[in-house]
Amino acid sequence: MRKLKILFPIILATVFLTFCRPVPVIIYQKDLSKFENEIARADNNYSLTTAQFYQRLANSTMLPKGGILEKSIVKELVDSMVVDTLLGFEATEVDLSNHYKYYSRYRASYATLMSDVYYNNAIHSKVSVDTSEIFKYIREHTEEFSLKEQMQTRHIVISKLSLKHGPDSLKYRAMSDSALEQASKEIAFHLKSGINSKDEFIEAAKKFSHDEVSARRGGLIEWVQPGFFAWPFDSVAFAARPGDIVGPYRDKDGWQILYIEHYIPEGVPALNPEQYAIARSKVLSDKIREYSMLVFDTLFSDMEVEYNEPLYDTNIYKVDKPIWAAIVNQADTIDFGDLRVGEEKIKKTYNVSSSTVEMKKEMVRIIARKWVIVQQARKMKLDTLPHITKQIAGIKHTFSRHIVESRIINHRWEPTTEQMKDYYQENIDKYVVEKPFNVQHILVEDSLFAEFVRDQAIAGADFMKLARDYYPGEEEIRIELADLGFIGPDDVSAEFFETARVTGAGQISRPVQTEYGYHIIKVIEKKMTVSFKGAVPEIQKILKIIDFERQKVEVKKKLFTKYNVSISNRIFPIHLKPLGQRRESDEGNGS
């Protein structure tokens, strides 16, 4: 009874710990309304709810195989999201116009966006094609419908570069290149494992593909012929047929998954919807080109350019980039930074060492046309459309964010030689190998018999089975004697060590004689000593990662203090489904 009294509290505690430990939260879209409690709060009216946090995780590439994120990892991710948001607050305080490098990039992106918006609204949408025009074109251009082999595909690309600059960038920037490559590969394979139909592929492409342009169209790539894309696209895509989902395979851009949409063999096919669409596209392109020429000719004919001519008869590389070079229609400025971009092209076109005043003016007029289009877009109030206003703000915010990050994170930091030498010495065992060769050997007494044993090993016989058959001594210890493991120069004779040194990993040596007899040596593995000079590239990467982590801690501390951040202690482990199964709305009942 006394023992029972002693054991009862222990049993009770064990039961309590077993059944009362936190249950992992499983993410499902339908259940997110249950998690509206705050897990982070900061000044500036910022808060992060559990539901918001979970949704961001579900939309990320975290845990591609699915599984549980432990509490410590969840806490790190919460901190990372809060820091990311606070950096965004910092970006809103930046006056972009005071930072020429980023402001000029913003203006270029803004001009490209507004030019595209103008083209779509003022030209493309104004041109239409009727059926009679299409059939007329087909009758007059039958030779164009002798088709080469081609296909239309959709693709999803997972790029390690995009991982470093994506939503989980703080995590991926800290990875080595090989680890980042492995992570991108795993994401691609597990993403593909959850795709079983075209609709699922389209949704996955929109959500996960790192090709932002095609992702908006569900990964759609226009018609391509063999040789258009980098190897090994042709061998993968053209071996498949419509409806197939192929890959992942690795090319220069990353890990690719393809959905084969349509395929046309080489030859002259009967008229079909695809051919009709091609003819329609060509007629439409011709009409758009003709109409755009009329529109642009009218726009450019009224263009007024004021030149800063006194500076044109100079070397433009000696003029500060922000200095104005021209003003277009008394509204938008072209600076000498813009002129530098086109200088090399002008010199190459005219085969001159430096551009003349007239050449510079020609360059300015070419650049000015872009701003005339932008001005016309503004005149049409296209920049006030809600989705365009949002895009413009997003572009500005992106470049402001770059400025903030460049202030607080020094990505150009490089370790000194002394720092690298210190690391090398502190980790000398990692670089200096005292026992470099992992070997097995068979010892025999006769040189001819040694050649006979080697020939069997070369022919494919199991080396350790040969050792068990031929090594001298008691049979039960032959394997142990034959497998030497890693050896250094003090472990074996000089002749033995030298033979191991010159024999490649995985290779079998010719018989070598020592005082004990003739040895046939199989080299399993080699670990060579790396000099300081040879270790420098690796040490540089390691120390940069260490310093980056140090800077992250400092940034977090400063931002958390500035914005009075508080983090809830109600943070629990989280279960994520495999990457391919994550969708905007989970189906089923939680299985």
Task: Name 487's bridge partners.
Answer: 437
Please tell me whether residues 299 and 233 are part of one structural domain: no
> SS3 of 150, please?
strand
Q: Of the candidates 501, 526, 551, which is a domain's last residue? A: 526
538 domain residue, yes or no? no
Token pair of 331, please? Answer: 């509204």
What is the total residue count of the chain?
591
| Confidence (pLDDT) at 28 | 61
Phi/psi of residue 482, each to 5°?
Answer: -75, -30
Query: Is residue 515 within 8 Å of 493, Cβ to Cβ?
Result: yes
Cα 380 → chain centroid:
38
pLDDT tens digits, one per residue of 94-132: 999 999 999 999 999 999 999 999 999 999 999 999 999
Please tell me whether residues 380 and 465 are part of one structural domain: no
| Confidence (pLDDT) at 88 | 92
Query: Is residue 82 within 8 Å of 552, Cβ to Cβ?
Result: no
Sheet holding 25-26, edge to edge: 25-26, 574-576, 67-69
What integer is the mean pLDDT of 53-58? 85
Reply yes or no: is the peptide bond before residue 232 cis, omega within 30 of 0. Answer: yes
| Confidence (pLDDT) at 211 | 87
User: Is the pLDDT at 52 greater than 90, yes or no?
Assistant: no
pLDDT tens digits, one per residue of 263-287: 988 876 777 888 888 889 999 999 9
Q: For residues 237 and 243, what is the distance between their CA atoms, to the nearest angstrom?
A: 11
> Domain of 310?
289-407
User: Is the pLDDT at 43 greater than 80, yes or no?
Assistant: yes
Which residues have CB under 8 Å from 547's CB, separation 6+?
A: 413, 415
pLDDT averaged over every residue in the chain: 87
Helix (H) or strand (E) segment spanning residue 67: strand 67-69
541 domain residue, yes or no? no
428 domain residue, yes or no? no
Name the least confident of 276-280, 420-424, 551-555.
276-280
Query: Is residue 541 within 8 Å of 176, Cβ to Cβ?
Result: yes
453 domain residue, yes or no? yes
pLDDT tens digits, one per residue of 8-38: 444 444 444 444 454 545 656 566 677 778 8
Q: Of the candidates 503, 526, 549, which is a domain's last residue? A: 526
pLDDT band at 144 (very low <50, low <70, confident <90, very high): confident
284 domain residue, yes or no? no
Name which of 530, 529, 528, 508 is nearest 519 in CA terms: 508
Q: For residues 288 and 291, what is the distance between their CA atoms, to the nearest angstrom?
A: 5
Please tell me whether residues 258 and 153 are part of one structural domain: yes
Q: For residues 84 and 42, what is the distance between their CA atoms, to the nearest angstrom?
A: 13
DSSP string, 155-215: EEEE-HHHHHTSTTHHHHHTS-HHHHHHHHHHHHHHHHHT--SHHHHHHHHHHH-S-HHHH
pLDDT tens digits, one per residue of 433-476: 999 999 999 999 989 899 999 999 998 889 999 999 889 888 88
Cα 52 → chain centroid:
25
Query: Is residue 468 within 8 Å of 475, Cβ to Cβ?
Result: yes
Q: What is the number of domains present in the chain?
A: 3
Percent of the chain with pLDDT over 90: 60
Query: Is residue 510 within 8 Å of 518, Cβ to Cβ?
Result: no
| Confidence (pLDDT) at 425 | 94
pLDDT tens digits, one per residue of 58-83: 888 888 888 888 888 989 999 999 99
Phi/psi of residue 102, each to 5°?
Answer: -80, -35
Please tell me whether residues 389 and 485 are part of one structural domain: no
544 domain residue, yes or no? no
Please tell me whether residues 310 and 403 are part of one structural domain: yes
The CATH number of the domain holding residue 218 is: 3.10.50.40
Q: For residues 243 and 246, what is the distance between their CA atoms, to the nearest angstrom?
A: 10
Please tell me whether residues 261 and 298 are part of one structural domain: no
| Confidence (pLDDT) at 7 | 47
Please tell me whether residues 399 and 296 are part of one structural domain: yes
For residue 315, give Cα distances in angstroms to 305, 311, 319.
21, 8, 7
DSSP string, 200-256: HHHHHHHHH-S-HHHHTTTTEEEEE-TTSSPTTHHHHHTTS-TT-EEEEEEETTEEE
Please tell me whether residues 212 and 308 are part of one structural domain: no
User: Is the pLDDT at 4 greater than 50, yes or no?
Assistant: no
DSSP string, 479-522: HHHHEEEEE-TTTS-HHHHHHHHHSPTT-BPPPEEETTEEEEEE
Q: For residues 336 and 316, what is the distance between their CA atoms, to the nearest angstrom?
A: 7
343 domain residue, yes or no? yes
pTM greater than 0.85 (yes/no): no
Please tell me whether residues 302 and 396 are part of one structural domain: yes
AA identity, residue 557: K
DSSP one-letter code for 147: B
User: Is the pLDDT at 587 greater than 50, yes or no?
Assistant: no
Query: Is residue 74 within 8 Å of 574, Cβ to Cβ?
Result: yes
What integer is the mean pLDDT of 395-416? 93
Please tell me whether residues 258 and 156 are part of one structural domain: yes
> SS3 of 528, please?
coil
Q: For residues 501 and 503, what is the distance between their CA atoms, to the nearest angstrom?
A: 6
AA identity, residue 547: D
Work out the burial of residue 464: count CB atoms within 10 Å of its CB; fewer than 13 is exposed, 13-18 middle, 19 or more buried: middle
Q: For residues 545 and 180, what is the distance between their CA atoms, to the nearest angstrom?
A: 13
pLDDT tens digits, one per residue of 184-215: 999 999 999 999 999 999 999 998 998 888 88
| Confidence (pLDDT) at 591 | 39
For residue 412, give Cα distances in angstroms to 163, 173, 408, 558.
19, 13, 12, 21
91 domain residue, yes or no? no
Q: Of the candidates 475, 509, 526, which is a domain's last residue? A: 526
Query: How many Cα neighbours within 13 Å face the side chain of 207?
Result: 24
Please tell me whether residues 500 and 460 are part of one structural domain: yes
Q: For residues 252 and 375, what is the distance between their CA atoms, to the nearest angstrom?
A: 39
Token pair of 81, please? Answer: 């999201």
Please tell me whether residues 155 and 258 are part of one structural domain: yes
Name which of 150, 361, 360, 357 is nearest 269 in CA terms: 150
Name which of 44, 55, 95, 100 is nearest 340 in CA terms: 100
Token pair of 477, please? Answer: 């210890």
| Confidence (pLDDT) at 590 | 42
pLDDT tens digits, one per residue of 291-324: 999 999 999 998 999 999 999 988 889 999 999 9
> SS3 of 35, please?
coil
Query: Where do the DSSP E strands lie in 265-408?
Result: 305-307, 324-328, 332-335
